[in-house]
Amino acid sequence: MSARITFATAARVLRQLRHDRRTVALLIVVPALLLALLYFMYDGAGGTFDRIALIMLGVFPFVIMFLVTSIAMLRERTTGTLERLLTTPLGKIDLLFGYGLAFGLAAAVQGAVATGAAYWLLGLETRGSAGLVVLIAVVNAVLGVALGLFCSAFARTEFQAVQFLPVVVVPQLLLCGLFVARGQMAGWLEGISDALPLTYAVDALAQVGVSADPTTTMWRDLVIVAGATVVALVLAAATLRRRTP
């Protein structure tokens, strides 16, 4: 692994993004707009908006970065740039970390804008600090990037790649405790929920909602999400083969 190559790769991915202004605009504006939609949906029920908006601040970057990354990586595979990169001194880890870094930075901007809008424009209130919300959002985004890198290996076309959203992301969303409290789920569902990383991300955000200082549970949750990210990156590295049939 080489820091020079990793940073060059991250810079290259960000440059690609910069040339695509519409994507940048969508990345930055859409989460804030969706939060505004939630605000008007729960008009007058301040507590419900606070609870759901907080969780959505973590969910949006996860979903969006998963989608963006799986398509970006699929393009590397289908246009032949991946095959070419693997004949250069670039290491697999350089490529994966480069992507993680680039989209992690994009997620930080996205998270800061969405969080700023939620607190200042939409009156979101939490006991804990907004900075922690942004931190959790970025870690979630990087989890999305890592899963996207991994899943792109199993798709041959863009049509297939977007189908991984309902397969990988939606179950995590349904079982994370947002729709039905985890304690009220059937035992086997709760067991599955325990094994899904998004559950811990949502729990970490809930902790920020209820306590003024970062709790041990929140840090534990965040470490679990980060651990899941590393596992997904290792799995993604295993799918990058220099030799193919």
By the criterion CB under 8 A, which residues form the site for other proteins? 4-5, 8-9, 12, 15-16, 19-20, 79-81, 83-90, 242-245
Instruction: Quote the DSSP letter at residue 118.
Output: I
Pick between residue 86 and residue 113 the one whose CB is nearest to other proteins.
Answer: 86
Q: Which is nearer to other proteins, 17 or 135 (CB)?
A: 17
Shorter beta-carbon distance to other proteins: residue 22 or 183: 22
Nearer to other proteins, 79 or 163 (CB): 79
Which pair of tokens denotes residue 82?
Answer: 């991946």
Q: Computed from CA positions of residues 28, 14, 56, 223, in that sequence, does the dihedral angle turn out positive or negative? A: negative
Q: Locate tokens 């800061």: which residue?
A: 112
Instruction: Tell me 173's DSSP state.
Output: H
- Measured from the CB atom, the residue of 15 and 127 that comes closer to other proteins is 15
Distance between CA atoms of 102 and 201, rounded to whole angstroms? 21
Cα 78 from Cα 88, distance rounded (Å): 18
Minimum Å gap between C-beta 87 and other proteins is 5
Q: Which is nearer to other proteins, 48 or 79 (CB)?
A: 79
User: CB-wise, 216 or 244, nearer to other proteins?
Assistant: 244
Tell me the closest approach of the beta carbon of residue 2 to other proteins, in angstroms: 9
Question: At which residue do the structure tokens 């970490």 appear?
Answer: 204
As measured in angstroms, the least distance from the Cβ of 85 to other proteins is 7
Shortest separation between residue 18's beta carbon and other proteins, angstroms:
9
232: helix, strand or coil: helix
The answer to whether the Cα torsion of 137, 96, 27, 56 is positive or negative is: negative
Q: How far is the CB of 19 from other proteins (least distance, A)?
A: 5
Closest separation in Å from C-beta 8 to other proteins: 4
Residue 211 Cβ vs other proteins, minimum distance, rounded to whole Å: 44
Contact 52, 132 (CB under 8 A): no
| Token pair in block for residue 6 | 């990793």
